[in-house]
Structure 1
Amino acid sequence: MPNRPATWRLIACLALLVLLAGCAGRDIPDRSPAPEAGLSIERALALSTAKRALGTPYRFGGNTPEGLDCSGLVEMAYRSAGIQVPRTADEQYRRLPAVAQPQPGDLLFFGDRRKASHVGIYRGNGQMIHAPGRGREVVSVPLDVAYWQQRFLGAARPTP
């Protein structure tokens, strides 16, 4: 006569294995946000911070979620990724490594040929996130507008 407790233990172990095998075969949906394809983690973080800043009021000299100017938006976004950038648009333009073809997260500079007076963060798909000026909020705008094209100075990449 077989040992009943041992048989029940064996049956319980087999049932548990079948149950676990069934669970292991399921696809668990990934609910975490997918990073932008091909971006370094630093650029993805900076771009994510800039997107969250949409709607933040303009404040001259501001570099916090309570209020931002254009270079303050850049400073805050890159600070969230652990990267320090110069404070003004012109310093950023002169000191950061230039790139010929901007990618999402890169900086876009505007002004006259002597000085960069404005900076935005390239969002991709021909869009830029920027803090436009007094009485306005951080917005995303298309770059195919003549105003931006006439004033474009260049692009820079503060991150890998």
Structure 2
Amino acid sequence: MTARTKTKGHWSAHFIGLPYADLGRTHEGVDCWGLVRLALSAHDIHVPSYAGGYASTEERAEIAGLISGAKPQWQKVDAGRELDVVTFRRGRLESHIGLVVRPGVMLHVTEGQPSCLVSYLDCQWERRLTGFWRH
């Protein structure tokens, strides 16, 4: 059974398969922050757009600064639960985020791939995981 099958009827199903779009903030296309923002807003959790804070997702230093600046508004937690933000390093900078769907699984999007569910415990993500944050 795939992650997509397991989530049929789950809130996350509405956000799987959205196309990647640099600075995207709608169902027509999202980047990683845009996806998290869109999904959280469906749960009446409203966070800033930050669309004006960087010109593209390639500007990792600017994104890392925005993530760092947003953290005081969030509570760091030891383990992720549904709707927690999970942060990751890309290179040396913390510049990618996802949204916990259930322990061990996140909703996220990366360039060239539509939004999907993946395990943040696999070797690709776990070694770059920097923390869980609760709004």
TM-score under structure 1 normalisation? 0.60
Question: Partner residue of 1:109?
Answer: 87
Q: Which has the higher contact order (CA 8 A, sep 6+)?
A: 2
Question: Partner residue of 2:5?
Answer: none
Does the aligned pair in 1 maintain the 2:17–2:115 contact within 8 Å? Answer: yes
Question: Partner residue of 1:140?
Answer: 117
Does the aligned pair in 2 maintain the 1:93–1:116 contact within 8 Å? Answer: no
* Structure 2 residue 49 is the aligned partner of structure 1 residue 87: yes
Question: Larger % of strand: which?
Answer: 2
Question: Larger % of helix: which?
Answer: 1
Using the TM superposition, give the Cα deviation of residue 84 of structure 1 relative to its aligned residue in structure 2, in angstroms.
1.8
Paired with 1:146 and 1:92, the residues of 2 have a C-alpha distance of 27
Computed over aligned residues only, the root mean square deviation of the Cα atoms, in angstroms, reads 2.3
Distance 1:151 1:93, change over 3 A: farther
Q: Note the alpha carbon deviations across 1:61-119, whole angstroms, 9 max, x for none.
A: 01110001100011111222222213356144454221112111111000169642111
Q: Note the alpha carbon deviations across 1:33-70, whole angstroms, 9 max, x for none.
A: xxxxxxxxxxxxxx82x431101100010111000110
Unaligned regions of 5+ residues in structure 2, if any?
A: 1-9, 51-62
Unaligned regions of 5+ residues in structure 1, if any?
A: 1-46
TM-score under structure 2 normalisation? 0.71
% identity of equivalent residues: 29
